[in-house]
Every structure is written in C-alpha cells, then in structure tokens.
A and B are shown apart, each in its own frame.
Chain A
Amino acid sequence: MADDVLRLTMHQAAGLLRGGKVSSVELTQATFERMRAVNEQVNAFITESEEEALAQAARADQMIADGEENPLTGIPAAIKDAIVTKGVRTTAGSRILEPFVPVYDANVITLLKETGFVMVGKTNMDEFAMGSSGENSAYGPTHNPWALDRVPGGSSAGSAAAVASGMAYWALGSDTGGSVRQPGALSGVVGLKPTYGRVSRYGLIAFGSSLDQIGALTRSVRDAATVLQAIAGHDQRDSTSVPIEVPDYNATIGDGVKGLRVGVPREYFVEGMDSDVREAVEKAIAQLEGLGAEIDTDVSLPSTAHALSVYYIIAPSEASANLARYDGVKYGFSYDEGGSMWADMEGTRQYGFGEEVKRRIMIGTYALSTGYYDAYYVKAQKVRTLIRREFDAAFEKHDVLVAPVTPTAAFKIGEKTDDPLQMYLNDVLTIPVSIAGLPGISVPCGFTTADDGARLPIGLQVIAKPFDEATMFRVAHAYEQSTTWHEEFPPL
C-alpha cells in the first residue's frame, strides 16, 4: 500500500474505511510496515503490539461492516507508555518498570476500546514524563522525524514522532507542564491538553498529580476534538475528574472566529525567543485577524515569569510521593543483590531510576521537608492561585489567548542535557497553562530553517477558559483550515 494513505488525518482515513476503500486490517498492516521501515531511526515505540492490533483491526472491520463504526473505529493509534494497558507492557520510559505488565486498563483505554480503535504500540517518553526532549528515556532518545539528530520534544516524544512520521494516525500523550503541546509544536503536529479534570487520570502513571492530564497528538484539530470527545467525561474512579457535561465539539468546530476576542499576552514573547518563531506566531495572529477575530495585544499576565519556579516545586513534590511506590517489592524491576531487604529496596531505586527522575525526587523531597515546606510548597501554591486569578481576569475580556508554544524550534539531541535549567526553560510558555489547569492546544504555524539547513516546525498555542475546549477548537480549526502547514510531512 502506498505511504500516502498513512499521511491522512484520522477523519480522512475513517472516510476510506467507511467507504470500503480500505480495511482496518490493511491500514494496520501498512502502519506496521511503516514502523519496520522508519522506527529504527525514530525510536518512537518502546513496545509494539502487532498481534493485539491486528485482532483489534479485524474486530473493527466487523464493526464497520455492521454499521456500528465511529471516526475512531479501526484507525491505528499509539498510546504513550505512561498510560496503563491491560496485558501490554507499560514502562513509563523507566527501567524500574521494564518488566511491568498491567493487570488493568486505564479509563481512557477502556473508553477507546469501546470505539473499536486499534492500538499499535506504546510510545517512548521521558522517564515518568520528566523531560522536554524525549532524551530521558531508559529506552534511548526519540528522534525528530523532521531532523533525526534533533529532539521531537517531550515528554510525549514517541507519540508526537509517531504521528508526525506516519506510524500512527493519532496518539495519546500526557501533559504535566507542556508534554503534549511542546512535542506537538516541535514535531509539527497538533497537541491537545484538555482542562485539568476533563479526562480521567485513572490509569495514567502519575508524575505531578495536580497537573497531569491526558491529551492527544493528531494531524488535525478536528481529529483532536474527536479523540477528546471519546475520552472526556467524569469517571468516579478519579475524584479529580469533573462531573460536567461534555459538549459536542464537532457541532461548533466550524463556527469560525468572527467576533471572537483573542488576547495576546505580552509576557509570552520572551527574551531569547527565536525570531522565526516570533514572526511565525505574529503572522498566525494576523491571519486570525484576517479571519474576523478581534485581536487585543494589550494583555498582561505579570506572574508568568514565576510559573516555572512554581512548577518545579509542585510537580517534583508530588512526584517524590508518586514515585515512592517503586521499591521492587510488588512489581517491576527488583534489585536483589543488596543482601538485605532495605538494601534491595534502595538498590532498586538506585539502579531503576534515571538521573533526571532522581534529581526531581530529591528536589521534591527537599521542598516538602520540615522547615522548608512553608517556604517552598505552601508559597508555590499561593503563587499558583495568583497565576490562576490572572488568567481568570484575562478571560473576562477575551474568549481565548494565543501565544507561542516554545521559544525555539527543535534543538539537537544532547544540546541541553548537561544544563537542566536550559532544558526547563523550554517549557516556560506551556507551564503557566498547566499551573492554572487550563485547556491548551498547539497547532502547526510555520517552519524555520536552522543553521544546519534543517527545516523545523513551529507551533501556535491557543489557550481557553476552563472546560471551554469547544471555543479553543473553533479558533485552532479556523486557523488550521486557512493554512497548509498541517499538510506538510517530514521527508523521512
């Protein structure tokens, strides 16, 4: 089968399936052929599940034949390895979970199985989602399909790279501080982070529990809306999922931007930002204006600069507790040469966790310690409230905010690994949205040519009010449909 079919959006492929032009089994086989051809270079997958995928595809074909399909039915998709899948190994990118096969499905997987989706594998990621480049994986770095010596962004590195390179039509990721939006931007695909509480976290391996949210990487805004439609909603097993209605996104996605009030927060055009990135985003904003949106550039979110500090206290604090369960006693990697129970538990963590994970466990442990708790954790929570209020105020006058996703395009593998702070700064434009629990989406908005000649994607971030993903999709979709950036495919 021609690779062309692998470049379609989920909705386009679903049209072919529905029209009987191609079967799900054929799409799935083509996807695995593509994986065999390019995954060695991209390293987007930790675990491939071909056997299960083909069985799911056969069932999907039956659903289509019975007229019981929906846009997700039979479409090959990839799942970030932070989401537990019953019977399919789930590592969270860590050695400590190398042999771990979950006994249950995450809530999102249960919902997706009902749609008849096809899961082709579990994608590579920064260990426990701690990273912005995909380099912190125990299974090797993921490579950016646009330039293989560059990072695809992280932590949902494999999910972004798989969707960008035709190894999956769409993928689930998780976003704690930008882990879906940032790799979306750096890999040239759509990256959706829903409102905190919109999608059940039951079965998402926790990193920063008050920030984590499952999202999607897709080839179009409409696909992202369709995936959210399938996985959103209250789940009684996740007490932080919110019991409010999920609107029909498809019904309003084409309503356009005419009259919508779009704010541009000035703090998001940071010092040191790449001029091509700035230019591409400014052009995109002008494009929205041309489509009828009311642009307001006089918007200020003064606490933006503090969001990074807040994030690097709250997320590691929560992570230090979330990762305490990995001690080799119950599952996963278990060190057994310590000579005693305690030495084995320590050895499990010493050899099972990578450097970045250990660094964040230590930061979090420190921040929660007696004598430091008030100065760090409590203060961070107060600033968090402040950041939320600033967004609330901005949304009194604006329907959405738009901004860049990252200060620069994809950087080289190894470029920032020695300097954690430089690495952390890559998330400076996505973290505030996570801190405030807002929905955000990144949409391809252009390219930049790097010094080495690499042509690299740039992303536009659209941010909306809590639980107002519908308006966010409208804006992102209207912009996307007025451009061709999303139709470009890496040369791989």
Chain B
Amino acid sequence: MTRTATRYETVIGVEVHAQLLTRSKMFCSCSQPTPESPPNTHVDPTCLGMPGAMPVINRLAVELTILSGLALNCEIAAEAKFDRKNYHYPDLMKGYQISEYDMPICTNGWLDIEVDGQTKRIGITRVHLEEDTARLQHAKDPSTGEQYSLVDVNRSGVPLMEVVSEPDIRSAEEARAYLQALRRILRYIGASQANMDEGNMRCEPNVSIREPGAEFGQKVELKNINSFKHAFDAIKFEEKRQAEVLDSGGTVAQETRGWREDIGEAVPQRTKEFAEDYRYFPEPDLPPLLISREWVEEMRARLPELPDAKRARFQEQYGLTAYDARVLAESTARADFFEAATAGGSAERAKTVSNWITGDFARLLNAENAEIQNARVTPESLAALIDLQEAGTISGKTAKAVFEEMFALGKAPGEIVKEKGLEQITSSDEVVTSVEKVIADNAKAVEDYRGGKEEAIKFLVGQVMRETRGRASPDVITELLKEKLAEKP
C-alpha cells in the first residue's frame, strides 16, 4: 500500500530575527545604516573590532526587547546577561558575536494566531538581544579573473532581537499566520519595521515530520527566506520532501537547507563534519543586565493597545464585522486612520469609513506600493468627503472620482467639488430642462416607451445623465422622465 504524506504531522519551530528601531547600534554610538549608506560609513572602533575597543549596552534596544517580551506575554528576567559566541568568519569583526545564551531577557511567552477562523496559541521560548555581522561582497577582478571579497562593516553591531517559538506550529499556513501576527505586534510597538523583503526581519523555520504522537523527527533548518511566501513555500516543499524520504524507507538528515526561489526547492547548504562548538561564556566586558520591576512596569505602561485587543474593541465599539475589524487593525496607522475618520460617528458611519479604507483607498495604496501613513489623504479629508456624499451634494460615483483626486493631489474634497462643478443638481429646474430636451431629441425612444417598451426609459435616463454631466441623481431623473412622458404629447 502506498503511504501518503497526510499520515505525517508536520512540526515547525521558527526563529525570527528582527532589526530593532534604535537610532544607534547595539554596542556603540554609530548610527544605524540604511540600505543606501555607502560601505563602511557607519563604523567606529567598537563595531570594527579594533584592539582595545569595548561594547556598551544600548538601553533603548533593551527597552524594545522588554516591550516585545511583554507584548508576547513573556516573563521578563530580573537579571539577564550577555555572552560571547565564538566562531571565525571574516564578517565577524571580533571573532565572536555578543549574544545572550542562557539568561535571555524574555522567556516563556505565547502568541495567538488565527487560521481558518480557529485561534491557536503558539509558545514563545525566548526573546533575546544580539548584534548583526558585517556583510561580505564577493567580486571578481575583470582583468585577471581573480576572485576576492570585500567587507562592508555598516551592519556590524546592528541590534537584532531574536524571537524563538516553541515547536507548536503544525503547518505552513500556521507558520505564515505566526509570522504575520509577530510582524504586526513588532510594528505595533515600534520595535521593528519588520519588513522581510528589506531584511530587517528574517526567519528560519525548523521543519520536521513525524507520525502523530511519535517522537520529534530530525529537523531541517530552512534559510534564505526573504518573504512570507518563501516561508510558506519552503515549508510546503520540505514537508513533502521529508515524507517522500520516510516513505521510501530513508531517514531525514538533520541539516540546513537554503530556499531557492528560482527552482522552488530547498537545497542542502552545508553539511559540517562536526557540530560547531560556539564555546559560549559570559561577556566579561559587560556587567549583568539588571532589570528592575519598576523598569518593567514602566515599559508595560508604554505598551500600546495590541492587535487582538484592538480588533475586539472595533467589533464591539463600532459594530464592525470580524473581517473588517481585522483588516483595519492590521497596522496602527490604518487603525488610527479609521478611528480618526470615524470620529465617534455612528456604526453606519464606521462601516462607510471602513469600506473606503479597505476598498478604493487600499486599492490605490497598493497600486503605489504605499502605506496609509504616507498617503496625502487625511482622516479629516475622508470624513469631509463622506459628509458631502451623505448630504447629497455629490453622488457616490462622483465621490469615487473626487477621492482619486484627493489621493493624487492631497486637495480637500470640497475644493475639488467646487473647482470642477461637481455638485449634485438638487434644484429640479435644470433637470427639467434637460429632460424636456432629451424627450424632444429622442422621438424614437419616447415612442417605444409610450408603446409599452419600458426598457427604453433607461436609454433616456442615460441621455439626461450625459446632459447634466452626472451631477443629477438617476432616481430624480427617472421620476421626472416618467412624469413628463405620462403627459400627452
């Protein structure tokens, strides 16, 4: 009998590295580089690993880690410490990385995720701080063909926070939901920009499969994952591959595999002859990190409303659907925009604002690959636009056109309406004139209607709309037409 992949259970743990939003680096006063920074322009003796230079702990990095730990329901250690992780590599300036080995700042937390409407709790093993390494660039001398490497030290010492999950994740879908939920939280609390494609959030899933209830299988660590989609695809690939190995009577090797987007496969990266021994020991240049309970409470007080709480409140307070509430609570910027534009309005108003944000607004932002906080449309101008529509000054169709103008130019909606003369015609005189003109000019259609072909009125309505350049309400036009056509010719 052929075994199928479905008989196995997939077990996934995820390690996420998030670059913290501090001004300076983890252990020196260099400012953090941007992707555009010229090589080796954000460096000093400490992050260059110069003889005699020493590290100093970045307090803000510790605070952002405490905040993250609190948001992830972790215990915050009263005493944490930094350790040296020893290995040789040309991108590692000191020959060791300062990290936290056995006394991390945060331990034992959890994060709720939602997949297919089901909530699941994923354990967080630990959250700790460490420093990034420099970057190697491999080059080739065009004349001699000789290969060489260049080192850009800008990223050396950039603060990284590592979030390690328990192996509680059971599918690629859950892994994706976990990553999205984690990103949402890190952005909410301002700990990280958490953009995977820009490299300020990186993830390494560990994937193994087992028969349900059996011991954990050998895990494969997946690297080179630069998007949620990569993570999803790589896990899917890996669970299928491992199942095939087991089904064919083989055993899964514990190894590291790199995701190759181009071929859609995770390929073995390097098999070490022996396990690397990092020889961790306490960093003697840094005293233990003492975290007072007052400090933790200070951080807790700084914790903003988190995504799940916000969603629940949006449903409760504004009567939004679960779906709308989730979409709006995706980022604080979007949620804040929504609340500002709704400004204590009715549930109906909230629904209208939500529709704008999740509809036309989202479509235009997507097209420009922009974020809501950078849009030229303000909550006040969106509210003004909705006011105009509700007052009947403009039609729904006009409102959409006005919004596009607002989005493109940042003008106030009232201004656009006035400039272009888009006010809905409310006095029927002007409409009556147009209706009479259309009846006079379209004898055939009039005849058809009067002959019992009611469909013909649609054509006439369209003609009046054209005459009034869309500023008259179709309902009003239809009513007037019916009235006029009922009169004897």
Q: Chain A residues in contact with chain B, CB under 8 A?
A: 83-84, 90, 92, 97, 100, 102-104, 106, 201-206, 208-210, 236-240, 317-318, 320-321, 323-327, 329-331, 341, 345, 365, 368-370, 373, 377
Contact = CB atoms under 8 A, between A and B. Distances in A.
Given A324-B88, A369-B277, A92 B51 contact: yes
A324 B95 contact: yes
Contacts of B151: 329-330
A209 B284 contact: yes
Interface stretch (B52-60, B180-188, B331-339, B463-471): B52-60
Nearest to B49: A325
B90 A327 contact: yes
B281 A377 contact: yes
Contacts of A330: 48-50, 93, 151
Contacts of B53: 104, 202-203
Contacts of A365: 279
Interface of B: 45, 48-57, 84, 86, 88, 90, 93-96, 149, 151, 277, 279-281, 284-287
Contact of A324 (B55, B94, B149): B94
Contacts of A203: 52-53
A218 to B, nearest CB: 23
A369 B284 CA distance: 17
Given A84-B52, A325-B95, A368-B279, A345 B84 contact: no
A325 B90 CA distance: 9
Contacts, number: 101
8 contacts: A84-B52, A209-B284, A239-B286, A321-B279, A324-B88, A325-B93, A330-B151, A373-B279
A215 B280 CA distance: 30
A489 B281 CA distance: 46
B88 A345 contact: yes
B154 to A, nearest CB: 14
Contacts of B49: 325, 330
Interface centre among B51, B57, B95 (most CB of A within 10 A): B51
A97 B50 CA distance: 11
Contacts of B279: 320-321, 365, 368-370, 373
Nearest to A323: B95
Interface centre among B52, B95, B287 (most CB of A within 10 A): B52
B50 A209 contact: no
The 8 closest A-B pairs by CB, nearest first: A324-B95, A209-B284, A368-B279, A210-B284, A203-B52, A205-B51, A84-B52, A325-B49
A260 to B, nearest CB: 32
B281 A102 contact: no
A327 B151 CA distance: 13
A181 to B, nearest CB: 21
A99 to B, nearest CB: 13
A104 B55 contact: no
Contacts of A106: 52
A240 B48 contact: no
Given A104-B45, A237-B56, A321-B84, A84 B51 contact: yes
Contacts of B287: 239-240
A228 to B, nearest CB: 20
B51 A368 contact: no
B57 A327 contact: no
B55 A239 contact: yes
Contacts of B84: 321
B62 to A, nearest CB: 13
A373 to B, nearest CB: 7
Given A104-B45, A370-B277, A373-B279, A206 B52 contact: yes
B90 A238 contact: no
A325 B285 contact: no
Given A239-B285, A329-B151, A321 B86 contact: yes
Interface centre among B88, B94, B151 (most CB of A within 10 A): B88
A143 to B, nearest CB: 27
A239 B56 contact: yes
